[in-house]
Chains A and B, each alone.
Chain A
Amino acid sequence: MKSRNRISTMRRRFLALLAVFSGSLLTSRSVATGKQRQLSLHEADFYKPHDLAG
């Protein structure tokens, strides 16, 4: 289990580094800490324009 946790931590750090290079500070911070901003649904802007297909 310990080694899996270590791999998971290393993976998170690697992804965080990638996110830094791609310019996303929010992503890098959340990935590095393993903590996303968990938001209430009421905090979502349902009508915000987006470019997702579907």
Chain B
Amino acid sequence: MGDVTCELCPRYCTIPEGGAGDCRVRVNIDGKLVATTYGRPSSVHIDPVEKKPLYHFHPGSAVFSIATAGCNLHCRNCQNWQLSQRGGEEMERIYRAEPADVVDAALAENCHSIAYTYSDPIIFYEYVYDTSVLAHDHGLKNIFVTAGYINEKPMRRLCQVIDATNIDLKAFDDGFYRRNCSGSLKPVLDAMVIAREEGVWLEVTNLVIPTLNDDIATVRRMAHWIRDNLGEQTPLHISRFTPHYQMRNLPPTPVESLHRVWNEARDAGLKYVYIGNIYGHKSESTYCPNDNTRLIHRVGFSVEEYNLTSDGRCPVCNQKVSGVW
């Protein structure tokens, strides 16, 4: 028996027998790498798909959402730290839910999709994969909500069973990843490109944190990179930061900062830029990139009005709107 190396994410943890990887939940038992949270989610909820957030993927549909403890990043501002920064043995409650149980429950509750979310589902990869295969067999879609800190090979394999993903681009700055997340930028960019190449519906989230990642020149580079590498049709969600976990010293993002970022992203040519975490903001809604007709009116996570044609076009000018409708 000896050490094992986990090749799932760029950390490449070398784990001694009886030890755990950086994510706390992938352990070496008798020389074998074991995902200890397989079939043992700690959070199970039904959310609207808009909460993921996915705005161009079956709007208004219900999503059976699961997460286990653990994460391969350690973001100082993590909103879900009580789940993500703990090992499975530290959770108050754990559900017994094999992939078949998850699929049965999602079907019984008339959900359209299963989302692997809340913590980073990369760390319960095998559970995601097996559940996704079974979900497809039963006509359900799969949604992967992630920070994208994953190696190429497992990401490409996962893309074969995932229908949509929201990847959290925390900053377009490697230093930010190193200082605040104990990660790095490039693997995240690579994961986004892979999702696009493999035909998975992709939306990107960027949480704007005052003074840490709201520099407008950096935002401009990010928007240009998204346009050039993922396409101008890629929805970008600009989200408001609120103080959490180890980053309570900063104020919530001023609305003016979000507007500056929104303007910069639109100036770069991105067609669908949204502002999140501000209830009722007009930029929660989808507008036609051609004639600015309001196509989907959202308030919070609720779809109040849906005006797209059945094949995803503007009813006024017939402009095709990218998405899975």
Contact = CB atoms under 8 A, between A and B. Distances in A.
A and B co-occur in one complex: yes
Nearest to B18: A4
Interface residues of A, number: 27
Interface in B61-102: 64-65, 67, 79-80, 83, 88-97, 101-102
Interface in A18-51: 24, 26-27, 30-31, 34, 36-44, 46-48, 50-51
Interface residues on B, range: 20 to 34
A22 to B, nearest CB: 11
A26 B118 CA distance: 22
A51 B94 CA distance: 18
Contacts, number: 74
A50 B43 contact: yes
Given A41-B44, A46-B109, A52-B83, A31 B90 contact: yes
Interface of A: 1, 4, 12, 15, 24, 26-27, 30-31, 34, 36-44, 46-48, 50-54
15 contacts: A26-B92, A36-B94, A37-B93, A38-B95, A38-B96, A40-B95, A40-B96, A41-B96, A43-B95, A44-B44, A48-B45, A52-B79, A53-B80, A54-B80, A54-B118
Interface of B: 18, 40, 43-46, 51-52, 64-65, 67, 79-80, 83, 88-97, 101-102, 105, 109, 115, 117-118, 145, 166
